[in-house]
Amino acid sequence: MDEIIGRELLRNLLLAMTAVMAISLVVLTNVQIWLLLFGTMIVTLVNMIGFAKYWAMDIDVTTCVFFVLAIGVGIDYASHVALAFVTAKGTEWVGIKRKVGKELNWN
């Protein structure tokens, strides 16, 4: 049973990462920002898997769901900030501060 869950977890993670990154590339249209988003997603997964190993968690259906959800939640915040960065107008830093601050509800 554990072998099946391990294979399914790997397959689901790869499918979720592929879908999220394909949609992000279409929306952002900036490869450099896209690569940064991909890096944040990888770091999030490595962090979660590392803590799961450190805490000696069993890989079961619940942890599989959490790992797949972490891809969506982890990329959501980063993609909003990246999109604000890409669409910022004005001078370089003023436009970025204004647009990203608006996205993050900073006044």
Average of per-residue pLDDT across 21-32: 85
Question: Is there a contact between 82 and 103 (Cβ–Cβ < 8 Å)?
Answer: no
Residues of the domain holding 14? 2-103
The pLDDT of residue 104 is above 80? no
Position 18 scores a pLDDT of 92
Neighbours of 87 (CB within 10 A): 11
Average of per-residue pLDDT across 5-27: 88
The domain tally of the chain equals 1
Look at the block and give the residue holding tokens 């900073």: 106
| Amino acid sitting at position 4 | I
The pLDDT of residue 36 is above 90? no
